[in-house]
Amino acid sequence: MTHTSVFPRPRQLTELSGPAPGPHAEVLVSHDADLPPQGFRLEYAETVRIAYSDAAGLRYAQRALDQLRGTPADQQQAVLIEDWPDIRRRGFMLDVSRDRVPERSTLLRLVHVLSLARYNQLELYTEHSFTYSGHEEVWQDASPLTPEDVRWLDDLCAAHGIELVPNQNTFGHWERWLAHERYLPRAENQEPQEFAGRLRPPSTLAPTEENAEFVTELLEELTPHFRSDRLNIGADETWELGTGVSREQASQQGLGQVFLDYVARVAAPWTSRGHQVEFWSDILGSHPELMDRVPEGTVPVVWLYDSPDHIATVIDHMSEAERGFNEAHGVDTEQLRNFTARAQALIDAGVPFWVAPGTGSWLSFIGRLDNAVGNIIDAVETAGRNMAPGFLLTSWGDCGHFDPLVVSYAPILFGGAASWHLESNRETSELLGDILDRHVFQDQQGVLGPTLVRLGRVAGELDAAVANSSPLFRAVQQPEALEAHQVPSVECLDAAAETIHSALATLGSSRPASLEGPVVLEEIAQAARWAQFGVDVLRSDLFRGGALQDSEDTSAAARDEARRLLDRLEKLLAEQRRVWMLSSRPGGLDDSIDRFSPLRRRLVRLAQLPQPARQARTL
């Protein structure tokens, strides 16, 4: 029997001496109250016997049985499986607000992947991408989710044993709302604020009673479309808090108390109905004096998106400018080292919390798989030591969501397996390519899954580390932001270029049988072309000391190189529009494409060409 026959790998699998069941074997099913929640026992022998603890356990037993039956005939073996999860709540969160709103077909395949990996919770993170009545100016260009979309997805999730949980930010990340004159008075500050030398537009709601009532009205409109009695109210990265409307209140009561009072006010209508309310704990975790005031019925969710090994390298090389940027945004650099450090105040106080690692896919093009694996293991180990009741793997869309969903498939599978039972699945990170081909892509050539995994490991093989992103992405979208120590060596860039080139050639030979095969092939190839472009920008003679040259007094050779890069960029952007539409809605596409305007303008200047007029916004 192959290593990938049953996924996730069970905590106990014993080979039996008798024959495997035949095609017409009897199946006997019984309830066993002594099994742990979601647990099952499956005897795959001449007679198939299933014992289950509850409906979820029966579902997982049936899925394992299906996988065993699908094992090749010459590998059939009688076995006994006993299995149950380490963490009862195993969730996945997809950002659908910055800037990619998926088509229903994309959500359908996501649910199938989540079901395979035994997730039992899904959240779609919204800021402005739901059709709230009377607020059309906020969402009209976003191709937002409708009530019909949510009810369809809720039904689909329920059919797969997954709870769809509403997730609407109610405090920070309100840029899309506050950009409109009608909502700007609700801001903590109505003017852009400077953080570490950068101006940020208004993004945080003032923690007022009026704003709490306003977001409650939104939630009252959103939640009836969900079966769930859970709710995620966000409340992360409230950067301006205490600097404007709430300045006096914060100086009198403390910033943490102002934050927690508002969270409690927003949560109260839901906890009073028996709902469980999640909120991000990045602000709360810096205020240990407030641990005894966490409202009953709420659960802080601790997020961290870099593995301990990766972030240790980042911190060791971190410049004063980088540390200043963290401090300006209220981030204690030392708390980023691992989940235990991040959650220490909650741990010391005995406050239950969830862990939220990341897929490492955003700000990367092709993912940061090795980082994601380390990040997930750190999260699960911290959850295990502290009996954390929930795990929420996140896939964000920062800076235009240029990574297609398929780039997150490998981390999703590993996250589901690790949060189910880490010790049996710790090594499945080395089998993810085969698992993808066997259970997701059904590639008859056996190359699509391994190629996706190989691309995902490129960032981890670079000898320069950047927090929460890949240098290949940063060089393309934020060419002015990379510091010299964040630029990989020529040798590593050459190796990355060879890997990406080889992967693109290999993709052409894959023959996936799954219905999504043609779409994901194009999406993976486009992501790889972006990563290749990032390598070539960094290898360019125009790139010096962490930034592109910024002078129009360039040589003829430099001008020619700038023109070549500009031509490639224009072709990539055109192709991005086409590939985006294969799985995502048009809203947000123009905003996403606009993220590359700084590089485009810089290349035009270096090529000494007339500045192009701003492209017409097209759908």
For residue 44, report the phi and psi dihedrals to the nearest 5 degrees: -100, 90
Residue type, 613: A
The model's pTM: 0.96
Separation between Cα atoms, residue 97 and residue 142, nearest integer Å: 8
| Cross-strand pairs, 262 | none
Ranges of each domain in the chain: 12-83, 89-279+299-327+352-435
Take residue 324 and report the two structure tokens written for it.
Answer: 């200043």
- Give the separation between CA 114 and CA 84, rounded to whole angstroms: 17
Rg of the chain, C-alpha, whole Å: 25
Classify residue 93 as exposed, middle or buried by CB count within 10 Å of its CB (0-12, 13-18, 19+).
buried
Note the CATH number of domain 89-279+299-327+352-435: 3.20.20.80
C-alpha closest to that of 262 among 230, 238, 282: 238
Burial of 384-415, coded b for 16+ CB within 10 Å and e otherwise, reads eebebebbbbbbbbebbbbbbbbbbbbbbbbb
Q: What's 406-462 look like in SS3?
A: HHHHHHHHHHHHHHHCHHHHHHHHHCHHHHHHHHHHCECCCCHHHHHHHHHCCHHHC
The DSSP secondary-structure symbol of 559 reads: H
Q: How far apart are CA 398 and CA 359, in angstroms?
A: 13
Q: What angle do the packed helices 308-316 and 369-385 form, to 10 degrees?
A: 110
Lateral strand order in the sheet of 40-44: 12-15, 79-83, 40-44, 48-52, 27-31
> What are the tens digits of pLDDT across the range 556-601?
888 899 999 999 999 999 999 999 999 999 999 999 999 999 999 9
User: What pLDDT is stored for residue 618 in this prediction?
Assistant: 45
CB 573 within 8 A of CB 618: no
Segments of the chain scoring below 50 in pLDDT: 617-619
Cα separation, 607 vs 560, in Å, equals: 7
- HSE-up of 305 (CA within 13 Å, CB side)? 19
pLDDT at res. 552: 60
The pLDDT value recorded for residue 499 is: 98
DSSP structural state of residue 97 = S
Q: What pLDDT was estimated at residue 331?
A: 84
The answer to whether domain 12-83 has CATH 3.30.379.10 is yes
pLDDT reported for residue 348 = 96
Q: How many CA atoms lie within 13 A of 479 on its CB side?
A: 25
pLDDT score recorded for residue 547: 67
Q: What is the DSSP letter of 510?
A: -
* Amino acid 185: pLDDT: 98
